[in-house]
Amino acid sequence: MMLEFYKITALGNDFVFIPEKHDIDIVRVCRRKFGIGADGVIFYKYNSDNEIEVDFFNSDGSHAKNCGNGLRCAARLMHEEKGTSEGNIITGAGAFHFNIKQDNTVAVNMGNPQLIKTEKDYFEVDVGNLHRIYIKDNYIESEIVEVAKNNPDYNVEFIMKQDDCYRVKVYERGVGFTMGCGTGATAIFSVLREFSDISNIKLRFDGGPLFLETSSDGIILIGEAQILFKGIFQGNWYT
């Protein structure tokens, strides 16, 4: 099999982008040291020069409707291949508008997430995928793993206030600990806006910062996205 792919990352949240849908072994592709290595595979196709359609899969092979870092990576790919600085990304969770900013970061309008549950110690938010958010003074990783294990349909975020930003640790459904999560950042901002008068925020993940701001028609997610390399599958990678 000869099949081209891109390896693209946003905050260390890395993806293999493959044109069109193929019955490849996603788990093998994503396995580090034995495959290409990634947090997920994203199949893509162009509907026009300013619209790209994507389909997200986690590293365990499970399907995902939305992925904020994946959206920014898709925008970066479209900019690389089509020269487009503004356009739309079509996903299982709907359409998302993006633009490449002057500082070369990528901004995506994530819409308005739905706060679906408020409990004493956590919040649940729907951003096209589900998030459970805990605001903590401190935490240990084993605590996060336990919450994720007991809530397998959710991405789990633990956040702490630190100086000028919030520090975030994220455990993603179908992947495990990742260095960043764009839909998680969007969910966190939507919760914090409910209880304080803020119009923008900086969140720091293990892979770096994400910036979020309020617009008239949704939350804008802003951060870097980089194409690492382009390659070719050789051999049999099909399931």
Q: Is 73 a catalytic residue?
A: no
With tokens 């649940």, the residue in question is 124
Q: Which pLDDT score, from 0 to 100, does residue 196 have? A: 87
pLDDT grade, residue 162 (50/70/90)?
confident
**Is the distance from CB of 53 to CB of 90 less than 8 angstroms?**
yes
Distance between CA atoms of 50 and 62, rounded to whole angstroms?
28
pLDDT grade, residue 197 (50/70/90)?
confident
Q: Which pLDDT score, from 0 to 100, does residue 239 have? A: 63
The mean pLDDT of the chain is 95
Contact partners, residue 146, CB within 8 Å, separation at least 6: none
Q: Is 236 annotated as a binding residue?
A: no
pTM comes to 0.95
pLDDT grade, residue 235 (50/70/90)?
confident
Average the pLDDT over 95-112 and give the result. Answer: 97
Task: Pick the catalytic residue from 30, 73, 165, 181.
Answer: 181
Average the pLDDT over 171-195 and give the result. Answer: 96
Q: Is 47 annotated as a binding residue?
A: no
Of 93-97, 136-140, 192-196, highest mean pLDDT: 93-97
pLDDT grade, residue 233 (50/70/90)?
confident
Q: Is 155 annotated as a binding residue?
A: yes
**Is the distance from CB of 111 to CB of 182 less than 8 angstroms?**
no
Domains in the chain, start-ordered, CATH in brackets? Answer: 3-109+224-233 (3.10.310.10), 114-218 (3.10.310.10)
